[in-house]
Amino acid sequence: MGPTLIMIALGAFVTTLDNTIVAAGAPSIARDLALDLPTLQWVSIGYMLPFAGLLPVAGTLVDRWGQAATLRAGLLAFGAGAAVGGLVTTAWLVIAARVLQGAAAAFLVPALLSLLRTNLDERRRAVGATIWTACLAVALALGPTLGGVLSEYLGWGWIFFVNLPFVAAMLLLLRKVVTGNGSTAGRDPAPGRPAVLSMLVVTAGMVLLTAAVVELGEGGALLPAVLGLGGAGLAIWFVLRERRARERLVPGELTGQRVFIGALTVQLLWGLGVSGVFFFTPLLHQESLGLGPVLAGLPLVVVAVAVVAATPLVPWAVPRFGPHRTVAAGLATVAAGLLAVAAVNQVPEILPRVPGLVLIGAGSALTTPLTSYALEIVADRHAGTASGLLTASRELSSALGVALIGAVLAVVRTARLDDGAASALAQGYTAGLLTAAGLELTGALLALRLLNPRRGQSPSRSDKRGAPFLSSR
């Protein structure tokens, strides 16, 4: 395997690992730093929000700066965030380190994916895409276990330090990867102007809205209302600005595509339901069931393995049932899994939860046509922007999911504290599971309606072609 393929493999693995490894170590971080639940949520959200906010313009900026400069700066920033995160002992510095890593990952992902186009021929490009996807799956499966092992035996700081060998290896490979193309490798001599102001507005709006949801769990009303109004105001400003701007963050052709907007909406609902449950599962298992970090992270491995095992069913299902029915069935299966876990959540054992966890993973695999089908109706000239928006929506849904399920858990736990801390946490988790199941069922109904192809909606071959989507997760 050549240096380009190794670089792509390492980048896919480490950027995905940093998203999944924190969940198993979060309870250890909370205990050592005496973090309350809302602050703990920002350890995860701090990575996801800048990742989501910067992705829509990151591709354009990569074209302006060139692959070499972007990859070098992104790797140094990602590594600096990892080093700081592992060394500090205060909550705000940990969160700041996560923000830095998320911002760096937003530029690393499109820069690494651009290597597929510039450094590889058509045959090796397909190999590179397969390697990228495989490394995503491996990181998804290994992240929770690795986070638990490092937290239990070396300390939670190693959740951050484990990134550094990957960063060092990629920096060493960088010279070999880009020298063949010259010092301006991958640089577009006349790239489009990035919609930086629109990006800043929408990112600030996302931060305020997410903070409002997190603060709801604290029981107050004034601060969530102020934050929510601020976020809504920025969202309205963004929409009005987009209508008038010459360089739009979201091209008008995409906002007019029913299937594409439907895919964004359904993907947002999937992430809202699943991501928050994933983040709080190790916390429940450690605090309520008394498990160590390693055992507490194992249920997430069950989900990841189920995702990998069920993925081969997707190419079989889509031609037979259509992407809309396949995605709807996947979301309904996820909902069934969440309800199954909720039904046995009062049992203080892991084994009864396994069937529900398998359903969650298998159902999530069936939602993958969301991205590929959405890109089939997008013109080639917007394929890169559409891919970035789909990836950004997945990261945004993860951040909002952690905030939403965290708020539900916190409200119920506070109301049930008379039953004991462990029991109150378990009841809050059950409420989070039921909320997530409702979101998944809503997504299933919308998938049947919004993703169902209508006559006259199909793209013509002369103008549009299917484009592969490579998720950052």
For the residues of 200-256, what is the DSSP string, one character each?
HHHHHHHHHHHHHHHHHTTT-SHHHHHHHHHHHHHHHHHHHHHHH-SS-SS-HHHHT
User: What is the 3-class SS of 135-160, one letter each residue?
Assistant: HHHHHHHHHHHHHHHHHHHCCCCHHH
Ranking 190-199, 333-342, 413-422, 423-432 by mean pLDDT, the lowest is 190-199
Q: In this structure, are 277 and 381 located in the same domain?
A: yes
| Separation between Cα atoms, residue 387 and residue 398, nearest integer Å | 17
The DSSP call for residue 471 is -
Structural domain contains residue 191: no
Q: What residue type is assigned to position 384 of the chain?
A: G
Q: Please give the sequence-ordered ranges of beta strands (E in DSSP) within 397-454, or none if there are none.
A: none
Cβ atoms of 217 and 37 closer than 8 Å:
yes
Q: In this structure, are 131 and 262 located in the same domain?
A: no
Q: In this structure, are 65 and 119 located in the same domain?
A: yes
Q: In this structure, are 263 and 217 located in the same domain?
A: no
Domain boundary among 246, 261, 286: 246
Q: In this structure, are 310 and 409 located in the same domain?
A: yes
Structural domain contains residue 189: no
Q: In this structure, are 222 and 363 located in the same domain?
A: no
Cβ atoms of 230 and 274 closer than 8 Å:
no
Q: How far is CA 106 from CA 70, 101, 109, 229, in A?
A: 11, 9, 6, 27
The confidence score (pLDDT) of residue 380 equals: 62
Q: In this structure, are 238 and 270 located in the same domain?
A: no
Q: Which tokens belong to 227? A: 């934050």
> Residue 379: beta bridge partners?
464
Convert the pLDDT of each residue in 316-332 to its tens digit: 988 889 889 999 999 99
Structural domain contains residue 86: yes
Q: In this structure, are 235 and 318 located in the same domain?
A: no
Task: Give 183 or 235, the one with higher predicted confidence.
Answer: 235
Domain boundary among 138, 156, 181: 181
Q: What value does the mean pLDDT take over residues 417-437?
A: 88
Convert the pLDDT of each residue in 8-54 to its tens digit: 889 989 988 887 788 888 888 988 998 888 888 899 899 988 888 88
Q: pLDDT band at residue 286, thresholds of 50, 70 and 90?
A: confident
Query: Tokens 């996820």 appear where?
Result: 334
Q: Which phi and psi angles does 29 have, rounded to 5°?
A: -60, -45
Q: Is the dihedral of CA 465, 466, 470, 473 positive or negative?
A: positive
Q: In this structure, are 280 and 233 located in the same domain?
A: no
Give the best-scoring range by mean pLDDT among 131-140, 230-239, 295-304, 369-378: 230-239
The DSSP call for residue 193 is P
Name the domain count of the chain.
3
Structural domain contains residue 460: yes
Q: Which tokens belong to 31? A: 């205990």
Cβ atoms of 366 and 330 closer than 8 Å:
yes
Q: Which tokens belong to 463? A: 């103008």
| Separation between Cα atoms, residue 227 and residue 205, nearest integer Å | 9
Q: In this structure, are 316 and 355 located in the same domain?
A: yes
Q: Which phi and psi angles does 215 have, rounded to 5°?
A: -70, -20
The confidence score (pLDDT) of residue 355 equals: 94
> What's the start-to-end Cα distance of the chain, in Å?
23
The confidence score (pLDDT) of residue 466 equals: 36
Residue whose C-alpha is closest to residue 166's, from 60, 8, 376: 8
Structural domain contains residue 186: no
Q: In this structure, are 317 and 395 located in the same domain?
A: yes
Q: How many helices (H) and strands (E) does the chain have?
A: 17, 0
Residue whose C-alpha is closest to residue 402's, from 263, 135, 206, 225: 206
**Burial bucket for residue 193 (CB in 10 Å: 0-12, 13-18, 19+):** exposed
| Separation between Cα atoms, residue 317 and residue 320, nearest integer Å | 5
Instruction: Let me know the angle formed at the C-alpha of 96 by 93 and 99, rounded to the nearest 5 degrees.
Output: 155
Structural domain contains residue 140: yes
Give the best-scoring range by mean pLDDT among 257-261, 418-422, 453-457: 257-261
Q: How far is CA 176 from CA 9, 119, 181, in A?
A: 15, 11, 10
Query: Tokens 């909406």 appear where?
Result: 265
Q: In this structure, are 239 and 262 located in the same domain?
A: no
Structural domain contains residue 448: yes
Ranking 3-17, 65-79, 319-333, 377-391 by mean pLDDT, the lowest is 377-391
Structural domain contains residue 187: no
Domain boundary among 158, 181, 204: 181
**Containing domain of residue 211, as a range?**
196-246
Q: What is the residue-averaged pLDDT of the chain?
A: 82
Give the CA diameter of the chain: 67
Distance of CA 330 to the CA centre of its chain: 18
Cβ atoms of 443 and 273 closer than 8 Å:
yes
228 pLDDT more than 80: yes
Q: How far is CA 139 from CA 12, 21, 201, 298, 393, in A?
A: 8, 9, 32, 14, 20
Q: Which phi and psi angles does 379 have, rounded to 5°?
A: -65, 150
The confidence score (pLDDT) of residue 381 equals: 66
Which CATH number is 119's domain given?
1.20.1250.20
| Separation between Cα atoms, residue 349 and residue 289, nearest integer Å | 7
